[in-house]
Structure formats: C-alpha cells, structure tokens
C-alpha cells in the first residue's frame, strides 16, 4: 500500500521550475533515500510531503489525502507525517522534555501523565533521558538532533521525513544520530524518506535510492543495484565524486 505518491507533480518558484514531472511511489514501511547534487530539488521534494511547500500541478497523495487539493486538511496530514530538519528547530525557550510533549499535548490532546511517560521513554531511546530538564542551548548539535527525532516520534507518525539531518553536525556526532535513524528504519511499520549525503547509511538502510538532478528524478533503483551499477551517467559521476 502506498504511503506517499507523486503523480506528474510540478513545482515552481516564480519562473524557476523546481520540480519537473515527479512520479514517485513510496510504500508503507519503506525506507527511501534521496541522493543528488546540491540544488537538485531533493529538499524541495521532501518539504512538499508535509505541505511546507505547495505543488502547482499534479497529485501528491500522502496517507490517502491529496495535498494538491486546496480542500485538504494539512493539519490532519501533519499529525501522521513527522519531519526532522537540518537545523533541529527546537523551541529555545522550552526544556527538552517540554519540546517533546508540546505537540502531542496541543494537537493530539494526549493525557498529561501518558504524554510525559511517552516523552521520557523516547528520551531513553535516544540516550538522553538525563537531559530532560535541560534547555536546548546547553546541548551539542548531535544531542539536539536526537531530541528533534524524539519530538517527531512523540506524535507516533506513520511516516518520517529527514532533510539532511546530519549535515549541520560535527563529524564525531553524526554516528549517534545515524544509529537512531537505523533503529527507526528497522521498524517495519515506519515509512522513511531521507535526504542525505551519508552513503554508508544509504547503503545499509535504504530499500531504494532515488537520484535527482535539476529538479528531476533521473534514477529510481534498489539500493544494491544503484551503488553497484548506476544506470544514469549523472549518477555515476555523482558517486565517483562522493565515494573514493
């Protein structure tokens, strides 16, 4: 069953054609990694999936709802689709625990005791239970990103979107974040769409690789096949530059 489906999607910023004829089907429980050079449209594509960027043409069906339809309730969609950003986007004026509890409290109206229990379990899961009462500014970038992942998981989404979640981190902090992402990917019920330059993670975790350039999907292949023998010259060139 499809969780995310793009049908002939076009996206413009004024005269700039950002996404061109996007056709993509992501099954429920699948982990798909988006690769490609900077400016290829990867982040734009992922941001359309929870309505942060509207599309101008085509259909974009997420969990059975067409996001291209102006009548669609975006808030309902965002309950089921979590997003982890490059720069964490934590609330600076709230503690770590409050950051995780806020959305379930406001959006899901979750019981406060249950909400705290779930939040603490998630902090335990990302290895940061001892930071519950800290402010985000006192944490390292890697710790903040793990909190951001816990915050997304607190909504119990059906899909998680990751937009270059490790690119703003110091190298020694990257592995802690990738470890959490690997654990999430191992959960067969979670759908993941990941923009990343972490090739080892992509090889290990992705069911499929989508290669983009100039706003287009140039290749959509099983992971092993993509890394062993990419079909597209642009993909071969990209891999030769990034994998030494």
pLDDT in tens, 39-74: 999 999 999 999 999 999 999 999 999 998 888 888
80 membership: H or E segment, kind and range = helix 74-80
Per-residue pLDDT of 160-216, as tens digits, reads: 999 999 988 888 889 999 999 999 999 878 999 999 989 999 999 999 999 999 999
Print burial letters for 114-142: b (CB count within 10 Å at least 16), e (below 16): ebbebbbebbebbebeebbeebbeebebb
Distance CA 97, CA 94 (A): 8
Q: Which is more confident, 167 or 219?
A: 219
92, 100 in Cβ contact below 8 A? no
18, 12 in Cβ contact below 8 A? yes
- For the chain, domains (ranges, CATH) are 2-242 (3.40.50.300)
The pLDDT, as a whole number, for residue 194 is 97
pLDDT at 223 over 90: yes
The pLDDT, as a whole number, for residue 189 is 87
191, 24 in Cβ contact below 8 A? no
The pLDDT, as a whole number, for residue 243 is 64
Full-model pTM = 0.93
DSSP letter, residue 219 = E
Per-residue pLDDT of 93-125, as tens digits, reads: 999 999 999 999 999 999 999 999 999 999 999
Rg of the chain's alpha carbons, rounded to an integer?
Answer: 18
Q: Residues 1-13: what's their mean pLDDT?
A: 95
Q: For the beta carbon of residue 103, count every other beta carbon within 10 angstroms.
A: 18
For residue 112, what are its two tokens? 């406060």
């Amino acid at each position: 069953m499809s969780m995310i489906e793009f049908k002939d999607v076009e996206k413009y910023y004024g005269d700039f054609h950002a996404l061109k004829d996007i056709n993509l089907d992501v099954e429920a429980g699948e982990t798909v990694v988006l690769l490609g050079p900077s400016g290829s449209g990867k982040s734009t594509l992922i941001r359309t999936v929870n309505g942060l960027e509207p599309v101008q043409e085509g259909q974009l069906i997420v969990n059975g709802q067409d996001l291209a339809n102006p009548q669609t309730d975006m808030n309902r969609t965002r309950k089921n689709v979590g997003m982890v950003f490059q720069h964490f986007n934590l609330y600076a004026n709230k503690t770590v625990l409050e950051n995780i509890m806020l959305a379930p409290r406001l959006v899901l109206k979750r019981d406060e005791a249950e909400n705290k229990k779930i939040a603490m379990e998630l902090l335990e899961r990302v290895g940061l239970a001892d930071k519950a009462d800290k402010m985000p500014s006192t944490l390292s970038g890697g710790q903040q990103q793990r909190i951001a992942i816990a915050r997304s998981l607190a909504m119990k989404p059906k899909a998680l979107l990751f937009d270059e979640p490790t690119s703003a981190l110091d190298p020694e902090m990257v592995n802690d974040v990738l470890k959490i992402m690997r654990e999430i990917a191992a959960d067969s019920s979670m759908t993941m769409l990941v923009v990343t330059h972490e090739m080892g993670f992509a090889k290990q975790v992705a069911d499929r690789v989508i290669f983009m350039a100039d706003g287009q999907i140039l290749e959509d292949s099983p992971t092993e096949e993509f890394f062993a023998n990419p079909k597209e010259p642009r993909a071969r060139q990209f891999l030769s530059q990034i994998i030494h």
